[in-house]
Amino acid sequence: MIINVLMPKDWNTLAEFTNQEYQQLFNRVTRASQVLTTDAEPEVGPTPKEVIWTRNKTKLYRYISDQPKKHKVPLLFVYALINKPYILDLTKGGSLIEFLVERGFDVYLLDWGSPGYEDRHMKLDDYIMDYIPRAVRKVLRKSQADEISILGYCMGGTITSMFAALHPELPIRNLIFMTSPFNFENSGAYGAMLDERYFDIDKVVGTLGVIPPDMIDFGNKMINPMATNLGPFVSLVDRADNEKFITSFKLLRKWLNDGILFPGEAYRQWIRDFYQKNKLIKGEMVIRGRKVKLENIKANVLNLAGKNDLIAPPHQVEALMDAISSEDKQFKVLPVGHTSITYGGQATKITYPTISDWLSERSN
C-alpha cells in the first residue's frame, strides 16, 4: 500500500532530486579541497609603497599615490606585535590603507618585521621609547608637516596610548584606536587562561625565548574553539560555489597563518603587566623608569570597538575614555568583530568612512 502512494514517475523525480543534491555537495567538497590544497596563495598588500626608514627588522613605509594630498596632517599606522600588518592593506577594494590614500591622506605604516631568536630581549620599552618616536619624527620630516595623526590597531593601539602618554612633547594632533584593549580586569577566556596561578609566564619565556605564533593563535582560537577551528571550513564547503567568498576565505587564511615570533621579554610584559596585573588603566605601568599617565593624552581621540569582538570586547576598549584628558574624544561601537573591523563588507561600508570622515575634519 505504501508503494502505491508514489507512482513510478514520482520515484524518478525523487531520485533525480537526490542525485542533484549529492552532485552539488560533491562539487562543493571538491572545490573546497582545491582551495585548501592546490589553489595559489592570493597576492596581498597591493597599495604601492616605499621604504623610508629601517631599524633592525622594522621598516617604515610611505604609501605612494598619484592622487594629490588633500590633508596636511600625515597618518601613521602602528600595528601589533602579532601577525603581519597587511591585514590593513589586504586586497584592492578591501584595504583601509588604500581607502585613505585615495581620499588624499599621506599614509605611513610602521611594520615591525619578523623578529628572530636574537630579538628575544626586546621589550615594549624599546618599541615605545626608541622605534615609534623615531618613526614619528621621520614622518614629520618626510611629509614636511607640523603635526601627525596615529592609528593603532589591536595591541598596536595599546602601545600607541603609552607612547603618546610618555611623549607629550611630540605634536600628535589625532589618535585613532581600533579594537585596542586598555582595561584587562574582565578579560573573559583570556583572563582564565592567563591567570598567574596557572600560567607561569617566567617559565614560558625562560624556556622558549621567543613565543611561536602557533601558540598565540591557539590561545585566540580557544576563546571560541568550535567557531574558530571548525566554523571556517564548514562555511567553505557550504559556500564553495561562491567565488567571492572563496577569495575572501583565502585572503584571511593567508593572513591568519602568516604569524610571526613574539619577542620573549615583550611577551612577558604583555601578559604580566596587562592581563595579570592590569597596570595600564590603574596608572601603575612603568616604561624605562617612567610611569605611564594616560591623562597626559590631550590629542583628539576616536576610539573604535567591535560589538562582536571576543579578543578586545567593547568594555575593555571604552575604559580609555575616562582616563585621558582630551576634550575632543569619541567612542563608537561598530557592528563588527576584531578582524572584520578592518576587512570585509562591514569594514568597507562602516569602518572606512567612519575613520575617513572623522580624520578629514581634523587634518587640515
Active site amino acids: 154, 309, 338
Residue with cell 555537495: 25
Hey, is 31 helix, strand or coil?
A: helix
Nearest to 259 by CA among 220, 228, 285: 220
Q: Spell 313-342 as b/e; 16+ CB within 10 A means b.
A: bbebbbbbeebbebeebebebbebbbbbbb
Other Cβ atoms closer than 10 A to 130: 15
Q: Spell 56-73 as b/e; 16+ CB within 10 A means b.
A: eebbbbbbebeeeeebeb
Separation in Å, CA 175 to CA 25, 153, 189, 253, 342: 49, 11, 29, 30, 17
CA gap 205, 80 in Å, rounded: 19
> How long is the chain?
364
CA gap 320, 272 in Å, rounded: 20
